[in-house]
Amino acid sequence: MATTLERIKKLFLENFDLPEERLQPQATIESIGLDSLDKIEFMFALEKEFDIKIPDREVKLDSIQDMVTVIERLVAEQHVSQEQRAQ
């Protein structure tokens, strides 16, 4: 199965015309040439891809590594709670 990082990279490439080598874990939204509206739009794409809800505030998502960390945490929290609810 693809890692979180791989899935994020794939999502970037599907949504924007970017050279893949720019997508390093330490790269930030700004450093890969995207603006604030692009960032909001990408958050939306991440929510769909990972079936999570990213809280509107207080989440640090500057770099690709931040995204991996936050998404893995949110997936663990939100998917577990969904399973618990299902039970």
- The residues pairing with 63 across neighbouring beta strands, listed in sequence order, are 28
The residue count of the chain comes to: 87
- The residues pairing with 28 across neighbouring beta strands, listed in sequence order, are 63
Could you tell me which stretch among 8-16, 22-30, 57-65, 78-86 binds another protein (CB under 8 A)?
8-16
Number of residues that bind another protein (CB under 8 A): 12
Minimum Å gap between C-beta 1 and another protein is: 25
- For another protein, the binding residues in 17-76 under the rule CB under 8 A are 17, 37-38, 40-41, 43-44, 47, 53
Among the listed residues 25, 16, 14, the one whose alpha carbon sits nearest the alpha carbon of residue 69: 25
Under 8 Å between Cβ of 47 and 11: no
Containing H/E element for 73? helix 64-86
- Residue closer to another protein by CB (options 1, 48) is 48
Where on the chain is the footprint of another protein (CB under 8 A)? Answer: 14-17, 37-38, 40-41, 43-44, 47, 53
- The catalytic residue positions are 35
